[in-house]
Amino acid sequence: MRAFVVIGQKATASPEFLLHDVPGTSGRLDVLLRCVRAAMLYSHGLRRDTRVYLVLKGGPLAPRVLRIDGSAIRFVRPDERNLASLVKKALARACDAEGFNVIRPGLALAKGALDVVLDDVGPVTPFVLHEGATDVRDATLEVASALFFVGDHLGFDHETRAVIEGCNATPIGVGPVSVHADDAIAIVTNELDRREARIRATLGVW
């Protein structure tokens, strides 16, 4: 399983944003929506081995976490408006029970921030995408069960940094330039795809 945890420092945890102006009304939830597309979708397909956690730290209902689980989700389309509509409907739901409240197959909402993610995710090797760190091409990656923390356009806040350090996440870089969060995810995903393909080729399994 691949998991991407995207931190939205200002991204709204409430449904009161406009579908025709997501960047201007949602605390830049659009940045996180592009991360969902990059992590979960490929050309004409959905990655069933991938889970994305959106940590929403903006607005009156924050913090909340939206979990999108590729093993069960259906009807995810690559256009941002469609993704925004999916998230808006999910955020309109209450999440009164402890932990993740399932909204529909593959989509769940929880109160809390990284604490609920770490309680939920199970055994994974944690990495943090960090500019200037060891290049992902040279890194030892746990291909079968890895979790990657990703910052939004503002990077990571202090509280989040402390939690990430507390779980001993290994910093990895994706090149010499600070790229958009969704591009960083696409690079990591591509590296994992390549490594998996090499493993399959070595084993003679396709």
Catalog residues that contact ligand SAM under the rule CB under 6 A. Answer: 129-131, 150-151, 153-156, 173-175, 177-181, 184
Least Å distance, CB 175 to ligand SAM, is 5
Report the distance separating Cα 109 and Cα 66, nearest Å.
5
Maximum Cα interatomic distance, the chain, rounded to a whole number of Å: 53
Least Å distance, CB 11 to ligand SAM, is 13
For 12-107, where are the alpha helices, taking DSSP H only?
22-25, 29-40, 80-91
In the complex with ligand SAM, which residue's Cβ is closer, 104 or 153? 153
Least Å distance, CB 18 to ligand SAM, is 24
3-state DSSP assignment of residue 177:
coil
3-state DSSP assignment of residue 181:
helix
In the complex with ligand SAM, which residue's Cβ is closer, 105 or 175? 175
Least Å distance, CB 154 to ligand SAM, is 6
In the complex with ligand SAM, which residue's Cβ is closer, 32 or 87? 32
In the complex with ligand SAM, which residue's Cβ is closer, 132 or 204? 132
Secondary structure element (H or E) that encloses residue 168, with its range: none
In the complex with ligand SAM, which residue's Cβ is closer, 24 or 175? 175
> What beta strand segments (E) does the chain contain?
2-12, 41-42, 45-46, 50-58, 64-69, 101-104, 107-111, 125-129, 146-150, 170-172
Least Å distance, CB 69 to ligand SAM, is 22
Both tokens of 156, joined, read 């990571």
